[in-house]
């Protein structure tokens, strides 16, 4: 096996939550290009059609499953569908997420709970369902955020708390499942990449933040983040577990 072969995902089966838009689409396309069949999960199943076409264009099979990750039963049904179609689950990319920017004195319990339910609880239920069927050599990649490690000038208590919790969840699952199940669990903490959430920022916010704190002074290319997902999912990342990999253009070092 050459060094480049280690980055391949040939004939692996990858589940990606939140695959209907934004970074989830990039992750699905990248995994398919690396050789994987992809199970696409999202609440808006009709929006998965475009993602599925990208997977098929790369020469791989796609299965779309309507899934709300806050419901443990739906996460189990997602894994059951993957097992029925492909007979295995090798990789989970826990990408489903939502965010708010509400001042702490005005944030309602429902607003806070909604963010935590999707970002933290949803990641746990999806990981739990996959962990039951994954074989040794499998990999889970949780999507955290730099806002789980630092602040960025917006009132995002629920989002930041949920993404910080993903870091702890990643470490714990890695130590639980590493030697006993042979499953690696890592997280990625992205900086600023184009997504539905960044579309909601006030005009000029991203430019000002990146000019002040970004070492590379630009937003990230989704392909740069997707490449990190493929690395952690593949044999190239075979000795990496329990880690949170920051991909942020230097925002967290300033």
Give yes or no: 159 in active site: yes
- The 8-class DSSP code of residue 246 comes to E
Question: What percent of the chain is helix, strand and coil (3-state, nearest 5)?
Answer: 50, 15, 35
Active-site pick, 159, 201, 205, 239: 159
Q: Is 66 exposed, middle or buried (0-12, 13-18, 19+ CB in 10 A)?
A: middle
- Whether residue 185 contacts residue 170, with contact meaning beta carbons closer than 8 Å, is answered with yes
Distance CA 145, CA 134 (A): 25
Q: Is 69 exposed, middle or buried (0-12, 13-18, 19+ CB in 10 A)?
A: buried
User: Going by C-beta distance under 8 Å and a sequence separation of 6 or more, which residues neighbour residue 148?
Assistant: 160, 162, 163, 164, 165, 166, 167, 189
Task: Give catalytic residues, as residue numbers.
Answer: 159
């Amino acid at each position: 096996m050459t060094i480049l072969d280690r980055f391949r995902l040939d004939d692996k089966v990858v589940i990606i939550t939140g695959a209907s838009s934004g970074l989830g689409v990039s992750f699905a396309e990248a995994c398919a290009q690396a050789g994987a069949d992809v199970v696409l999960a999202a609440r808006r199943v009709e929006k998965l059609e475009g993602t599925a076409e990208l997977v098929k264009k790369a020469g791989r099979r796609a299965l779309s499953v309507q899934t709300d990750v806050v419901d443990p039963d739906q996460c189990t049904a997602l894994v059951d569908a993957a097992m029925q179609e492909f007979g295995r689950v090798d990789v989970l990319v826990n990408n489903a997420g939502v965010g708010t920017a509400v001042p702490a004195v005005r944030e309602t319990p429902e607003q806070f709970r909604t963010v935590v339910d999707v970002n933290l609880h949803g990641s746990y239920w999806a990981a739990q369902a996959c962990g039951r069927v994954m074989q040794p050599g499998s990999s889970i990649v949780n999507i955290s955020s730099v806002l789980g490690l630092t602040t960025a000038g917006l009132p995002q208590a629920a989002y930041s708390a949920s993404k910080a919790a993903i870091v702890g969840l990643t470490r714990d699952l890695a130590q639980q499942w590493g030697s006993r199940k042979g499953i690696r669990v890592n997280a990625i903490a992205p900086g600023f990449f184009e997504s539905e959430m960044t579309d909601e920022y006030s005009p000029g916010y991203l430019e000002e933040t990146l000019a002040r704190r970004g070492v590379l002074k630009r937003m990230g290319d989704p392909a740069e983040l997707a490449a990190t997902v493929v690395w952690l999912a593949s044999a190239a990342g075979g000795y990496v577990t329990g880690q949170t990999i920051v991909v942020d253009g230097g925002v967290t070092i300033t």
